[in-house]
Structure 1
Amino acid sequence: MDFLNIYAILAAAISALVVGFVWYHPKVFGTAWMHAAGITEEQIKGGNMAKIFGLALLFAFMLSFIMESIVIHQAGALSLVGGDSSVALQSYSDFMTDYGNNFRTFKHGVLHGVIAGIFFALPVLGTNALFERKSAKYILINSGYWIVTLGIMGGIICAWK
């Protein structure tokens, strides 16, 4: 049982754009984010949207690809056999028969995704924002987005077998 599920990874990547569409909508956090970021609507409309969304999807794909190793515990067992289950000893197959689907739920993936958001995204974004002299509101809006997004990504990747 290998874990690379390109459909789950792609769905998780797309979910980042969907969450972003909702999160940064003017009726949710969009207006507050623009104010905290010091960006005007004219500046937003003046951007190359194809480039922005294309790169955002690429970055989300990269994140969802690595989320697999964070949210699926059995990926650790696969890494112990060099990533190729076809050359593993029988003990690997026995282990996967016994435990291959343990903790493979949406809820469990969300848990690990949220933990990744809190302990990876928040410190990175927070550090950058501090040096950029951004407000706590800016940090909370952006890191909140990534905590929710990584939670959903983790849930999708972990549950999709």
Structure 2
Amino acid sequence: MHFNFYALIAAALSTLVVGFIWYNPKVFGNIWMRESGMTEEKARGANMALTFGMTVVYGFLIAFVLQAFVIHQVGAYSAAFDIKGVDPSVLDNYMQAYGQTYRTFKHGMLHGFMAGLFFALPVVGTGALFERRSWKYTLVSGGYWVVCCMLMGGIVCAWQ
């Protein structure tokens, strides 16, 4: 099983595209600014090259891990290599029969949605609880990651 670094980079960059839309003032930007305590002045003072650069780095790390959730064949490879004495032809036969099964954008989005809903949203929500943020903040910030995980999962799963 090889890693498709182009898919991982595209998935990482997709977080920027979603963010530009999601946090636009006409979408959720004004709500997020109000609920997070962000001001126009604070936003202008940020190092945007660092912010966007680290967003892509973090997106790459998330996309790298999402592969294991959205591509079932990763599990087959890891299982085969963890079992001592398994004939390598068993994995070859499996991959010939099922090698591209469920490698679709739609399937990747499904698993990305589950990762976003059951992992990313609770992580954001837990942090928001301790930071005393509102439920609106949690839904806007967590919702962003649910959508990003869906899109990233679709890209990583479908791009072979």
Partner of 2:118: 119
Q: Tell me, yes or no, if the aligned pair for 1:109 and 1:151 is still in contact at 8 Å.
A: yes
Asked if 1:16 is matched to 2:24, the reply is no
SS at match of 2:103: coil
State the match for 1:51 in structure 2.
Answer: 50
3-state SS of 2:81 partner: coil
Letter in structure 1 aligned against 2:49: A
- Number of residue pairs the alignment of both structures matches: 157
Question: Where does 1:89-104 land on structure 2 (aligned, <5 Å)?
Answer: 89-104=88-103
Give the AA of the match of 1:98. A
Mapped to 2, the partners of 1:88 and 1:11 lie a distance apart of 36
Q: Residue 129 of structure 1 corresponds to which residue in structure 2?
A: 128
SS of the counterpart of 1:152?
helix
Alpha-carbon distance in structure 2 between the residues aligned to 1:47 and 1:157: 31
Q: Aligned-pair distance for 1:80?
A: 1.9
What CA RMSD, in Å, does the superposition of the two structures yield over aligned residues? 1.4
* Distance in 2, Cα, partners of 1:43 & 1:94: 57
What code does the residue aligned with 2:111 have? H
> 1:34–1:88: structure 2 CA closer, same or farther, 3 Å change rule?
farther
The TM-score, its normalising length taken from structure 1, stands at 0.94
Distance 2:128 2:91 in 1: 45
Match of 2:63 in 1: 64
* Structure 2: gaps of 5 or more residues: none
- List alignment gaps of at least 5 residues for structure 1: none
> Contact conserved, 1:105 with 1:158, CA < 8 A, in 2?
yes
2:3 match: 4
Question: How many angstroms does 1:88 deviate by?
Answer: 6.4
Secondary structure of the structure 2 residue equivalent to 1:26? coil
Amino acid at match of 2:135: A
Q: What is the rounded CA distance, in whole Å, between the counterparts of 1:134 and 1:116 in structure 2? A: 22
Moved over 4 A (4+): none
Distance 1:157 1:67 in 2: 8
